[in-house]
Structure 1
Amino acid sequence: MPQLRFTYLLCFAVLAAFLAASAAQAHHGWAWATDEEFEITGVIQSVRLGNPHGEVTIDVDGEEWVVEVGQPWRNDRVGLSKEMLSEGREITVHGHRSAREGERLVKAERVVIDGKDYNLYPGRDS
């Protein structure tokens, strides 16, 4: 009986690890976002930069939206620094919003701050 219990626990652990990895991969790709282009402008409320990607929370007409910007290397490559993403600045985001109804989440392809474009994904149209 203990051997059977161990086998069940091992199978459960393997299945849980597989599902967690699948969910993480699905989120960090583009599958969770719509195909249509989306643009939004708001005021930066908070910033968290780092891996796997940065997140900028913006206020848009009293609603909070979370914007996924690039990984640290991608932000650095285009000159998008923490200073550029400081609280209180206006930002326009071009990208793709979440396909989940009501979720205020956007994957940024390009952002505009002070009239300057920062194209995070130059190979994609935005």
Structure 2
Amino acid sequence: MQNHARILPSIMLAAALTLGAAPLLAHHGWSWAEGEQTTLEGTVESVSMNPPHPTIQVRDAQGTVWQVDLGNPNQTARSGFTADTAGPGDAITVIGNRNQDQSAHMKAVRIVIDGQNYDMYPERIQAD
């Protein structure tokens, strides 16, 4: 019986950690995004490098402000994109996957500013 008294709390802890991680895993996957990629052109409204994902707010030609999620902080840094890469008013092109709910939200695979590519997920870039 003593072994069961030790094992049960460990099993309960493992179950709680697994269930608690489910929303986190869902957020970090691609299941919420469309499979087909979209190109968004506009101007930068703001840049945030805050975790869990850096984001850019982009205003398109119709005046809609989009939230563009970049890669995780390490991926974003590897792409060469930093907090100083873009600022309000800069022209930007974003290639990425739009939210399936058709909201103004997308996950970037590539950002283009001044002709410079910043590839967040180079392996996911679909051929033209």
Give the TM-score category using the shorter length: 0.7 to 0.9
Q: How far is the alpha carbon of 1:123 from its aligned partner?
A: 1.5
Determine helix, strand or coil for the equivalent of 1:46: strand
Is 1:40 the counterpart of 2:36 in the alignment? no
Counterpart mapping for 1:1-126 below 5 A: 18=19, 21-60=21-60, 61-101=62-102, 103-126=103-126
TM-score by length of 1: 0.79
- 1:122 & 1:46 partners in 2: Cα distance? 24
Q: How far is the alpha carbon of 1:73 from its aligned partner?
A: 1.4
Contact 2:36 2:97 in 1 (8 A): yes
Structure 1 unmatched runs, 5+: 1-13
* Letter of the 2:94 counterpart: V
Q: How far is the alpha carbon of 1:77 from its aligned partner?
A: 1.0
TM-score by length of 2: 0.78
- 2:27 & 2:95 partners in 1: Cα distance? 19
- C-alpha offsets along residues 69-122 of structure 1, whole Å, 9 cap, x if unaligned? 122211211211111121111110001000013x11010000100011111112
Contact 1:50 1:71 in 2 (8 A): no
- 1:40 & 1:125 partners in 2: Cα distance? 14
Q: How far is the alpha carbon of 1:39 from its aligned partner?
A: 0.6
Q: How far is the alpha carbon of 1:50 from its aligned partner?
A: 2.6
Structure 2 unmatched runs, 5+: 1-14
Aligned Cα RMSD in Å? 1.9
- Matched residues, number: 111
* Letter of the 1:21 counterpart: A
Determine helix, strand or coil for the equivalent of 2:53: coil
Determine helix, strand or coil for the equivalent of 2:122: coil
How many percent of aligned residue pairs carry the same amino acid? 35
